[in-house]
């Protein structure tokens, strides 16, 4: 196993990780929410469901779809390499 060098958690490094999570979460959350909202809204509209019900169902579906999207974004960010560091999950047993 490779030697692990621990580096200090600085405000700049924290900002880089936060920014990575934020923009990806907003972008992919928006796309997934818009996609599920469009699909549900379209088919519920064809079925003659009233617009208030469509709005409520699409809102709840948007919240639900944000959970797996958020987990996927977090996994993606955890695997990123940044300019001077990368995030590593280290077992407590190895210390």
Tokens read off for 86: 């990368």
> Mean pLDDT across the stretch 56-70?
95
Confidence band, pLDDT 50/70/90 cuts, at residue 3: confident
Would you say residue 34 has pLDDT above 60?
A: yes
Q: Hey, how many other C-beta atoms are within 10 angstroms of the C-beta on 33?
A: 19
Cα(20)–Cα(41) distance, integer angstroms: 31
| Region of poorest pLDDT, from 28-32, 43-47, 79-83, 89-93 | 89-93
* Domain ranges across the chain: 25-94
Q: What is the pLDDT of residue 2?
A: 67
Query: What pLDDT, in 10s, does the model give residues 8-28?
Result: 999 999 999 999 999 999 999
The average confidence (pLDDT) of the chain is 92
């Amino acid at each position: 196993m490779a030697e692990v060098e621990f580096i200090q958690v600085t405000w700049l490094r924290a900002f880089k990780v936060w920014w990575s999570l934020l923009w990806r979460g907003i972008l992919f959350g928006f796309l997934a929410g818009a996609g599920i909202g469009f699909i549900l809204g379209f088919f519920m509209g064809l079925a003659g469901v009233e617009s208030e019900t469509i709005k409520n169902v699409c809102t709840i579906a948007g919240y639900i779809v944000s959970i797996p999207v958020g987990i996927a974004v977090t996994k993606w960010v955890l695997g990123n390499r940044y300019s001077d560091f990368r995030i590593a999950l280290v077992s407590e047993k190895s210390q």
